[in-house]
Structure 1
Amino acid sequence: MLILEQRKECNQLVLPVFCHVDPSDVGKHNKTFAIQVKDSSRWTEYNVNLWKKALEEVALLAGLILSGPETEFLKKIVDTIYNKLDYKKFHLPVNLTGMATRYKDIKSFINEPNVNFLAICGMGGSGKTTLAKYIYNSSWRSFDNMSFLEEISDRCKRYDDLLQLQEQLLNDILGGKNRRIPSVSQVTCKIEEALQTKRVFIVLDDITDHRQLVTLLGTRKINAQSKIIITSRVLITDQWFESRSWRCQKYTIRLLNDDESLSLLCDHAFISKFPTEGFKKLALQALHYCEGNPLALAMLGRLLAEDNSIPFWESTLRSLEKEIVSGIQCILLRSYELLPHESNRQLFLHIACFFIGKDKDYVEKILEPDYYAIKILSNRFLLSVSPNNKLMMHSLLQEMGKDIVRQEALKFPAKRSRVWLNSDSYKILTKGEGSETLEGLALDLEMLRTEVPVKSLDLKTDALNKMDKLKLLHLNFVYLDGSYQNVSEDLRWLCWFGFHLKTIPSDLSMGKLVAIDMSYSNLEVFELPMVRNSVSFFCCLSM
């Protein structure tokens, strides 16, 4: 009982090990665990009830049951404890405004029998992901293994990113070394098998389509004691689950009320829960634009904190009033516009269009000498870095960045500075519509073929030859015919999964290339460029 008390009071790890004992006998007080009241000072009715409750609690904990040789079982115990201790919590602010009250709304889900899924729905920036992280940090000791997949909607748009998501989920569920499986469908089968036996806690962040759910989890039965949280900007309907044996509890997250909103704004603007003297009226005016959205409140507070003078606050709030768009979008755009340098804004757009989910150090090398601005973007809540060093960006901010690029040429994607939509990139390459303005282009032909019928796979390098400023090129399973002689000499990043040739074209300029990734390619010979200008060179090959 003392061990269980320590578990509750100090959040310590408890791993029951059942040697030649059935956990059901422990929980149901059968056989040698049939405790009864006796005529002694120790086994009073009160003490017996305490022990029964403790045994029931132990039986419900995720533990290990002896099976097979004891030497292998001991190794399993060591591996399990190692994986538990290796767990990394998410960093969350000390004072999470309004989080405790929202957690109370759904706290019962963890102990609800026969309900595997909790869907947290709401608008972007409303705190869905933060709430999921809060629950994750509070619940991890009760499960065999944990997994948290972020920004799924955006990362599912490319075949290689989808495969990475699946591999991460499978490795998290099973623990141990990384597994590389070449096919999405194969990984789905492996995940289905693992979910039937493992008691796991999974968070799938930013799911917008039920097909994403099927790809990641499959359709088969899930361990009854597992819990899976989904966050989504769309209202998840019962149709997502009706063809399966899964049950889902739905929760629409509440936006912050006025008191909570004021507290969060002041926390970022004044490092206090209350406004500085003389600022209360302006602070209340600022709340009007944020509409209770935590992300907008945090960003506006950080923006106003740059100059805690009444004239600056008045000027900033007046600029918000002039905009026709919603207050939230206006706040996000204002934070972008007030970045100190144009290079900061260009870096933000590069990351929003091409580098979300990529390793920070990897991106810094590709985009140097502007990499220092990543800290500037992070300080202004325009970007964040995950515990495993991945660049992350809120979906509202990413969509704002992409919309800024769209506005450069609404009807003519080829005249924009960046093209990331598969359909737009495909049209540019098939029609040879490249232009001098294009700095980055991405095309995942495998993913495009799952979205729309692809009429022709006969793509030419002609369009690339017209992109004199091209720096970033990301192609997945794209076959290009033609000469590479006139491809931009400014090319810094070449990511070409499934590259179809056996050698790198000799006429491709690689003088400024910093990173090249030719995973799943047909390359038989690879020679690094002769001149590298004394910079680090990232190379990834998987043939």
Structure 2
Amino acid sequence: MTRRWNYDVFLSFRGEDTREGFTSHLYKALCDKGINTFIDDKLHRGERISKELIQVIKSSSILVIVFSENYAESKWCLDELAKIVKCNKKDPEVQIRPVFYNIDPPEIRNQKGNFGKSLAKHEKKLKNNKNKVQRWRDALRKAAIASGWHYKKGCATYKSESDFIQNIVEEIANAKVNLTQLYVAEYPVGINSRVEDIESLLDIGLDEFCVVGIHGLLGVGKTTITKAVYNIIANCFDGSCLLENVRENLGIDAGIIKLQEQLLNDILGNGNWRVGSKFRGIILVK
């Protein structure tokens, strides 16, 4: 059964930084593309995140967070981000996609520069509620390691800000078609603790290549755990693929070619790769 979302995209941002510029242009571009987008200044802002807003977050497929220079100054933004990360943890189908707008991702991950200063100020004011600030710190790290988009004025990667926005819109439009969670199990009893153990071993966010081996007797749940982990971490990368039945396919050339084509098509996302021979496939994968 295909899950139905109320919104394709939920936009979270600091209004004072980007409402009248970047975010409004991004919102219009998404809507023009036919992407049903919720912009979070439609709801009344109080001291706490309302149940209505939390429900909107839960019912949105892709949660786009626009990180700007002064984002961490806003306690409202940090509270909203913490709710977004919590929703993603409970339901991996809800995806987090950060936009780093004139801010470098390591500044958020490591909480340096303006982000470090703002959090330090919050800690002074909230001496009796250190857990709240820690939740904000954890949420910032979690969101900042997800696969997203980075724009800095003067950078040669994009011709202009509008070119950058168009790139985001095209990726989201493709994601609407291509993003499908893997079926794990009808009754995944006792799987969460094992998934968390694997996730901690992978330590996503470090700029290192990591391999984790899962071994055990036939039928103990290795593939089930693998698929559950994949569903959680796939959106941390620009491309992802889960190759099944590798041993069975490695015995014949047709099987190897099948694996090579799946790897290329899943990661690159266009579905047009044809390998032809396993030796050509080796070169294409490289």
TM-score range, shorter chain: 0.5 to 0.7
The one-letter code matched in structure 2 to 1:35 is K
Q: Is the 8 A contact 1:145 1:174 kept in 2?
A: yes
Map of 1:95 onto structure 2: 187
Structure 1 distance, partners of 2:162, 2:271, is: 20
Return the match for 1:78 from 137, 158, 169: 169
In 2, are the aligned partners of 1:7 and 1:13 still within 8 Å (CA)? Answer: no
Is 1:176 equivalent to 2:270 in the alignment? yes
Could you say what secondary structure the match of 1:35 adopts? helix
The equivalent position to 1:106 in structure 2, one of 198, 204, 207, is 198
**1:51-78, CA deviations, whole angstroms, 9 ceiling, x for partnerless residues?**
5444333322221113212444333312
Identity %: 28
Higher gyration radius (CA): 1
Measured against aligned partners, the alpha-carbon deviations of 1:200-223 in whole angstroms (never above 9, x if no partner) come to: xxxxxxxxxxxxxxxxxxxxxxxx
Q: Partner of 2:276: helix, strand, or coil?
A: coil
Alpha-carbon separation, structure 2, partners of 1:115 and 1:180: 27
Where does 1:15-414 land on structure 2 (aligned, <5 Å)?
15-36=97-118, 37-38=120-121, 44=126, 46=130, 51-66=136-151, 67-69=157-159, 70-85=161-176, 86-100=178-192, 102-103=194-195, 105-111=197-203, 113=206, 114=208, 116-192=210-286
- SS at 1:92 equivalent: coil
Number of matched pairs = 191
Distance 1:27 1:101, change over 3 A: closer
Query: Residue 213 of structure 2: SS of its match in structure 1?
Result: strand
In terms of fraction of residues, the more helix-rich structure is: 2
Change (3 A) 1:44 1:125: closer
Amino acid at match of 1:181: V
SS in 2 for 1:185: helix
Q: Residue deviations 1:390-417, cap 9 Å, x none?
A: xxxxxxxxxxxxxxxxxxxxxxxxxxxx
Describe the SS at the equivalent of 1:119.
Answer: coil
* Structure 2 unaligned regions, length at least 5: 1-77, 152-156
Give the aligned residue type for 1:24: P
- In the TM superposition, what whole-angstrom CA distance separates every residue of 1:499-520 from its partner, at most 9, and x where no partner exists? xxxxxxxxxxxxxxxxxxxxxx
Q: Deviations over 1:215-247 (max 9, x none)?
A: xxxxxxxxxxxxxxxxxxxxxxxxxxxxxxxxx
> How far has the Cα of 1:181 moved from its partner?
3.5
The alpha-carbon deviation at position 136 of structure 1 amounts to: 2.0
Over 3 Å counting, the alpha-carbon distance change for 1:43 and 1:79 in structure 2 is: farther
| Distance verdict in 2 for CA 1:53–1:90, change over 3 Å | closer
Deviation at 1:147, TM superposition (A): 0.9
Q: Which runs of 5+ in 1 are unaligned?
A: 193-543
What is the CA deviation profile of residues 130-184 of structure 1, one whole-angstrom value per residue up to 9, with x for unaligned ones? 2212222333333333211121222222223312211210121222342223343
2:107/2:115 contact within 8 Å kept: yes
Amino acid at match of 2:250: C
Mapped to 1, the partners of 2:214 and 2:247 lie a distance apart of 15
**Structure 1 residue 21: Cα displacement:** 2.0
- Checking the alignment, whether the CA contact within 8 Å between 1:146 and 1:172 is kept in structure 2 is yes
Contact 2:195–2:225 at 8 Å: present in 1 too?
A: yes
Per-residue Cα deviation, 1:314-361 (whole angstroms, up to 9, x for no partner) = xxxxxxxxxxxxxxxxxxxxxxxxxxxxxxxxxxxxxxxxxxxxxxxx
C-alpha distance in 2 between matches for 1:175 and 1:141: 13
Relative distance call for 1:19 and 1:148 in structure 2 (3 A) is same
Q: Distance in 2 between matches of 1:134 and 1:186?
A: 32
Q: Which residue type is aligned with residue 111 of structure 1?
A: D
Task: State the superposition RMSD in angstroms.
Answer: 3.2
Distance 1:28 1:178, change over 3 A: same
- Structure 1 residue 9 displacement after superposition: 2.4
The amino acid that maps onto 2:227 is: K
Deviations 1:8-46 (A, max 9, x none): 2253222111233211223334444342455x9995454
Deviations 1:226-285 (A, max 9, x none): xxxxxxxxxxxxxxxxxxxxxxxxxxxxxxxxxxxxxxxxxxxxxxxxxxxxxxxxxxxx
Higher relative contact order (CA 8 A, sep 6+): 2
The whole-number CA distance in structure 1 between the counterparts of 2:136 and 2:196 is 29
Aligned partners of 2:123, 2:253: CA distance in 1, in Å? Answer: 67
Contact kept in structure 2, 1:109 and 1:115, CA below 8 Å: no
| SS at 2:241 equivalent | strand
Q: 2:190 and 2:138 mapped to 1: Cα distance?
A: 34
- Whole-angstrom distance in 1 between the partners of 2:193 and 2:142: 27
Q: Give the TM-score, by structure 1 length.
A: 0.31
1:6: which partner in 2? Answer: 84
